[in-house]
Structure 1
Amino acid sequence: MSRLLYILPVTILFLNLSACGDSGQKNKDTSNSGDNIPNANRITISKTQFDGESMELGGLSLQNFPVEVEVTGTIDVPPQNKAIVSAFIGGYIKRTPLLIGNKVKKGQPLLTLENPEFVQMQQEYQESFEQLNYLKSEFERQKSLVAEKITSQKNFLKAESEYKRNLATYNGLREKLKMLNISPENVQKGILVSEATIFAPIDGSITKVNISKGMYVSPADDIMEIVNTDHIHLELSVFEKDIMKVKKGQKIRFKISEASQEYYEAEVYLVGTSIDSDSRTVKVHGHLHDDENHNFAVGMFVEAAIITSNKRINALPNESIVNQDNNQYVLSLISEGNEGYIFESQVVGVGDSYNGFTAITEMGDLKLSDRVVVKGGFNLLSETGGSDH
């Protein structure tokens, strides 16, 4: 029994020593193997390459980013800068020389209408004019006679009534002729015309032409539209939930999404005080900056952002973010020596871009103190195939 107890501890000791030896050898082999496997996300370049690519190093910094209210709207003009041209009295189009895009000045002839009624109106005016002098003289004569009690009050009242009725007819026809741009003075001289010219009511450009030669137009028809773009503005629709944040003087960034991705600047000038019951939005009027240097057209649809405040966020220059395979990478510096640089590609989450910087919303393995490539990183990652190095 005692012999058995002696042998058992010796056997256990031997087994333990063997196990320790195997474990040590295994750990040694694993350690050596790890030293020989390169990091797949690391890139090594020489100083010559670094300088040749004009690469630069930098780091994260706190930048001001706007807090924005996103809205939509249109390019528009004030009501007084838009005119619908129509005819006071219907007629047939005789001349219409202008096309969409033509610029016109206020008072410039736009088109000519022809209608026999124009002649009839001038005849009625001429007759009224001729009668007016006689009726006025008769009225003055009866007035003197009734004062001297030579004639009856009835005769005086009759003369007065006829004179005033004719005077009203005369004045009414005179105003109608003026509205048709027919000279009453010429009609009084016996010069009658069968045409009426319509003139431009404002300066601007022709944006609509709804007529052709020989066509009949009535007073209800819109013949042309003229728009003066000397003062174009933004007409934005802001949702009810956001309107309390919007104030006069706030900056606006906007783009014409159908035409360009370029952003333009404007400023809140007027904030509406009533809510549209259907869309639950409030109108906001914005003044454009430097609008004379851009070919904006009235009616263009805009996507805009009203900057209501600012926030500070860790950010990197735009050029330091490389987008590959639906991921955003930055190259962080691991080491720097005489022989060159070692970088590691890091996946990060990004937010908005503003003033040349992109917000970093998810750091991943990137640290605040890390130095990263802020210029030239795109070419380096492209040459090495993104993260598969």
Structure 2
Amino acid sequence: MSLKNISIYSLSLVLILSSCSGKKEEEKTVYESTKFKEKDQNTVQLSDQQIKSVGLTTTFLENKTMEKLVRLNGTVDIAPSHISSLSSIMGGHIKSINVINGSRFSKGQVLAVVEDPQFIQLQQDYLVTKAQLESARLNLNRQKDLNTSKASSDKTLQTAQADYSTLNATLRGLEEKLRIIGINAKSLNSSNIRSRINVYAPFSGFVSKILVNNGQYINPSDTLFELINPTGLLLELKVFENDINDVKIGQEILVYNNQNPEKKSKAKIISLVPSIENGGSSDAIAKLSTLNPDFIKGMYINGEVSVNSRYTLGLPSESVVSFENKNYIFEDLGNKKYKMTPVNTGIYDDHFTEILKAEHLKEKKIVQKGAYSLLMLLKNKAE
């Protein structure tokens, strides 16, 4: 190889090595710059005016006994056994209706009045049979006396006994029919026969539906009202899949509606449906410990169950902020500089949130009031 060729080769090698070295230096500079930017995007620097405006305060991790609060939501329903269809024992024309849809009523209250001539006939049959029975009783006693002195035959006595027994059975049957339609047979006489009967409420509750109107002729099979007994009120609550193992039959819960969230009522879980729906939840059925007239069928409600009490590390709930389905806290680095740090949270309530694997945060100052404002400042800065 000639000297000239050696020189050209050496020069090319130097240029190649120089080019590679420059590229590595450039890549290193870009990497360090990117790394710095990513790190810088997790911190925010405030001015004195900003700190004052936000009202920023700090706190430290603390130990506290906590209970997991499972939140439920659902609707109010009525057990099928407590929804009743009310009919008239006997047919007739509706003379009056004394309630409207939604009316509350007490047991024994007159809900409607039905009129028909057959009621008159039933009372008349009772009074006639009652009179015949008295006559048959006197005849039976007379035949007994005559038979004792052999003045009448045994056959005559037996006929008298059969007549009395037949009329007595007929009278008892008529008396029971009168009782069912609300007429006291004991106080019935020829001067107080009436053509109307009352339809009474069988329990205390409220009217769900009225299915008749004044003047309508109804048969015994026709439903006049649909009645709801509030003692059968049930709460159908959704339990999400990750909370299912924490909810048990027999647990006491607090329930409330959206209109009055401060007024909470006690209830008890009486049933759990052993299946997961497409939405990732199951159903829990609860019953109120005491009746609450504010709860009506179809109303949306919320529930809370406290479970799994434990001693744990945590922070005030306002220290924890959420962004894109992840939880963060802000660490006070000093000199008005704050760093956003991801954390894993456990159980929580309105005032305190458990921080899992939080040993590295002990003794560090954590932002309490103003954490959300820092998140907004940080994200606006990143944008």
TM-score (structure 2 length as normaliser) = 0.71
The CA deviation at 1:180 is 1.1
* Cα RMSD for the two superposed structures: 4.7
SS in 2 for 1:223: strand
The CA deviation at 1:206 is 1.8
SS in 1 for 2:99: coil
Q: Provide closer, same or farther for how the CA distance between residues 88 and 224 of structure 1 changes in structure 2, counting only shifts above 3 A.
A: same
2:341 matches 1:346: yes
Partner amino acid, structure 1, of 2:341 = Q
Equivalent-residue separation in structure 2 for 1:320 and 1:355 (angstroms): 12
The CA deviation at 1:332 is 1.3
1:376 alignment counterpart = 370
2:163 alignment counterpart = 162
Q: How many residue pairs end up in the alignment? A: 351
Equivalent-residue separation in structure 2 for 1:69 and 1:41 (angstroms): 32
The gaps in structure 2 that reach 5 residues or longer are: 1-13
Write the mapping of 1:116-195 to structure 2, written as runs, cut at 5 A.
Answer: 116-184=117-185, 187-195=188-196
Describe the superposition over 1:268-297 as per-residue Cα deviations: whole angstroms up to 9, x where unpaired: 37679xx999x9x998654447x64x7211
Q: Provide closer, same or farther for how the CA distance between residues 185 and 228 of structure 1 changes in structure 2, counting only shifts above 3 A.
A: same
Equivalent-residue separation in structure 1 for 2:331 and 2:265 (angstroms): 35
Q: Provide closer, same or farther for how the CA distance between residues 244 and 146 of structure 1 changes in structure 2, counting only shifts above 3 A.
A: farther
**Deviates most, 306-315 or 368-377:** 306-315
Partner amino acid, structure 1, of 2:349 = Y
Q: Share of identical aligned residues, percent?
A: 23
Equivalent-residue separation in structure 1 for 2:263 and 2:355 (angstroms): 22
On the 8 A contact 1:350/1:362 being kept in 2, the answer is no
Equivalent-residue separation in structure 1 for 2:303 and 2:361 (angstroms): 34
On the 8 A contact 2:79/2:232 being kept in 1, the answer is yes
2:225 alignment counterpart = 224
Q: Provide closer, same or farther for how the CA distance between residues 144 and 330 of structure 1 changes in structure 2, counting only shifts above 3 A.
A: same
Equivalent-residue separation in structure 2 for 1:310 and 1:107 (angstroms): 49
The gaps in structure 1 that reach 5 residues or longer are: 1-14
The CA deviation at 1:309 is 3.2
Q: Provide closer, same or farther for how the CA distance between residues 205 and 311 of structure 1 changes in structure 2, counting only shifts above 3 A.
A: same
On the 8 A contact 2:72/2:237 being kept in 1, the answer is no
The CA deviation at 1:118 is 1.8
Equivalent-residue separation in structure 2 for 1:282 and 1:376 (angstroms): 38
SS in 2 for 1:168: helix
Equivalent-residue separation in structure 1 for 2:102 and 2:134 (angstroms): 50
Equivalent-residue separation in structure 2 for 1:326 and 1:283 (angstroms): 27
Describe the superposition over 1:19-78 as per-residue Cα deviations: whole angstroms up to 9, x where unpaired: 9xx99xx89x97xx97x9782322222455434433221233445232869797855479
Equivalent-residue separation in structure 2 for 1:266 and 1:204 (angstroms): 21
Describe the superposition over 1:99-133 as per-residue Cα deviations: whole angstroms up to 9, x where unpaired: 12212222221101123322222222122122122
Equivalent-residue separation in structure 1 for 2:160 and 2:213 (angstroms): 50
Q: Provide closer, same or farther for how the CA distance between residues 266 and 56 of structure 1 changes in structure 2, counting only shifts above 3 A.
A: same
Partner amino acid, structure 1, of 2:218 = V
On the 8 A contact 2:62/2:313 being kept in 1, the answer is yes
On the 8 A contact 1:67/1:310 being kept in 2, the answer is no
Partner amino acid, structure 2, of 1:354 = D
Write the mapping of 1:1-389 to structure 2, written as runs, cut at 5 A.
Answer: 39-47=40-48, 49-63=50-64, 64-66=66-68, 74-76=76-78, 83-184=84-185, 187-229=188-230, 234=235, 246=248, 248=250, 250-254=251-255, 264=264, 266-268=266-268, 286-288=287-289, 292=292, 295-298=294-297, 300=299, 307=306, 309-336=308-335, 341-360=336-355, 367-385=361-379, 388=382
On the 8 A contact 2:62/2:315 being kept in 1, the answer is yes
Describe the superposition over 1:226-283 as per-residue Cα deviations: whole angstroms up to 9, x where unpaired: 4454785647799xxx7998364x33255669x89889553537679xx999x9x998
On the 8 A contact 1:65/1:313 being kept in 2, the answer is no
On the 8 A contact 2:253/2:305 being kept in 1, the answer is yes
Q: Provide closer, same or farther for how the CA distance between residues 368 and 243 of structure 1 changes in structure 2, counting only shifts above 3 A.
A: closer
Partner amino acid, structure 1, of 2:226 = E
The CA deviation at 1:158 is 0.9
TM-score (structure 1 length as normaliser) = 0.70
On the 8 A contact 1:243/1:282 being kept in 2, the answer is no
Equivalent-residue separation in structure 2 for 1:183 and 1:251 (angstroms): 47
On the 8 A contact 1:253/1:263 being kept in 2, the answer is no
Q: Provide closer, same or farther for how the CA distance between residues 87 and 48 of structure 1 changes in structure 2, counting only shifts above 3 A.
A: same
Describe the superposition over 1:4-24 as per-residue Cα deviations: whole angstroms up to 9, x where unpaired: xxxxxxxxxxx9xxx9xx99x
Describe the superposition over 1:194-246 as per-residue Cα deviations: whole angstroms up to 9, x where unpaired: 221112222332223222223343333432234454785647799xxx79983
Q: Provide closer, same or farther for how the CA distance between residues 387 and 360 of structure 1 changes in structure 2, counting only shifts above 3 A.
A: farther
Partner amino acid, structure 2, of 1:113 = V
On the 8 A contact 1:322/1:377 being kept in 2, the answer is yes
Partner amino acid, structure 1, of 2:295 = F
Partner amino acid, structure 2, of 1:380 = L
Equivalent-residue separation in structure 2 for 1:103 and 1:304 (angstroms): 27
On the 8 A contact 1:251/1:265 being kept in 2, the answer is no
Equivalent-residue separation in structure 2 for 1:221 and 1:136 (angstroms): 41
On the 8 A contact 1:77/1:229 being kept in 2, the answer is no
SS in 1 for 2:155: helix
Describe the superposition over 1:161-185 as per-residue Cα deviations: whole angstroms up to 9, x where unpaired: 1112111111211221122123435
